[in-house]
Amino acid sequence: MSDRIRVLLADDHSLVRKGFRRMLEDDPAIEVVGEAANGPQAVEAAEQLKPNVIVMDLAMPELDGIQAASQILKKQPEMGILILSMYSEDTYVRNAFSAGVRGYLLKNALEVDLPYAIKEIAAGRKVVAPGLTMPGPQEQESDFDKLTQREREVLQYIVQGKSNKEIANILGLSANTVAVHRANLMQALGIHRTADLVVYAIRKGLVTLPDAPTPEK
């Protein structure tokens, strides 16, 4: 069927991706066109495969789901992105919708109907997990909006414990440029110590730490 919904799965656990693929392949209206194991792979696959909907884990290595979504939507604003997360806190939900995603579901919810959510998002509608509140327009302004895309990327790597030099190598920048981004984002958030920055960023849902690896057979 040429009019099937093209879906990209982005999750750092291969067993999770396999489970989602099996669930979605049973629906004749949906076609899984690719998979990604981390944020940068999701960004690249989105550009190459042009899916209608991306099912994206929130906590992924390198770039988390919100960071990756923000990058993808900057180039392809029409793309529908559904975040799957273990986090039910309002800050994560607000930051996700602020980045432009259309859906936010909880991974551990037994009643998740993934095919239904994908169809809703493909139709341009928004979806939020039962028990969570869809943020209104006035609520979507957050600390996430105070930072530029590059500052968000730098913040993600700072939280992962990387030095300015390591971040510079990853992003293809000079260490001095990374230092400027670090100073600017700390000023924007009103924070002066790296340790405080890490705690604040995680508490406010500005970044996530990757899920602990699970044994995969």
Given this model, what pLDDT does residue 160 score? 82
Given this model, what pLDDT does residue 216 score? 46
Domain extent, residue 184, equals 143-203
Of the candidates 108, 79, 83, the one whose C-alpha atom is nearest the C-alpha of residue 93 is 83
Given this model, what pLDDT does residue 142 score? 60
Q: Are residues 39 and 111 in the same domain?
A: yes
Of the candidates 48, 40, 42, the one whose C-alpha atom is nearest the C-alpha of residue 9 is 42
Helix axes 149-159 and 194-203, enclosed angle (nearest 10): 110
Q: Are residues 52 and 100 in the same domain?
A: yes
Domain count, the chain: 2
Does the pLDDT of residue 12 top 80, yes or no?
A: yes
Does the pLDDT of residue 35 top 90, yes or no?
A: yes
As given in the structure block, the two tokens for residue 52 are 């209608």
Transcribe 189-202 into DSSP letters. HT---HHHHHHHHH
Q: Which of 134, 151, 181 is the last residue of a domain?
A: 134
Asked if residue 209 is part of any domain, the answer here is no
How much is the mean pLDDT over the chain? 86
| CATH code at position 164 | 1.10.10.10
Given this model, what pLDDT does residue 152 score? 83
Asked if residue 195 is part of any domain, the answer here is yes
Q: Are residues 58 and 90 in the same domain?
A: yes
Residues 6+ apart with CB under 8 A from 70: 99, 100, 149, 152
pTM reported for the whole predicted model: 0.73
Of the candidates 157, 156, 142, the one whose C-alpha atom is nearest the C-alpha of residue 188 is 142
Q: Are residues 87 and 153 in the same domain?
A: no
Mean pLDDT of 188-203: 85
Given this model, what pLDDT does residue 209 score? 65
Strands 5-10 and 53-57 come out as parallel
Question: In this predicted model, what pLDDT tens digit does every residue of 69-118 receive, in sequence order?
Answer: 988 998 999 999 999 998 888 888 888 898 899 999 998 775 678 999 99
Question: Distance (Å, rounded) from C-alpha 180 to C-alpha 36?
Answer: 31
Given this model, what pLDDT does residue 5 score? 96
Given this model, what pLDDT does residue 136 score? 66
Q: Are residues 112 and 160 in the same domain?
A: no
Q: What is the dihedral of CA 64, 66, 69, 71, to 10 degrees?
A: -80
Q: Are residues 82 and 10 in the same domain?
A: yes
Asked if residue 22 is part of any domain, the answer here is yes
- Percentage of the chain beyond pLDDT 90 is 46
Q: Which of 134, 167, 188 is the last residue of a domain?
A: 134
Question: In this predicted model, what pLDDT tens digit does every residue of 126-182 receive, in sequence order?
Answer: 999 888 877 765 544 566 677 887 888 888 888 888 899 999 998 888 999 999 999
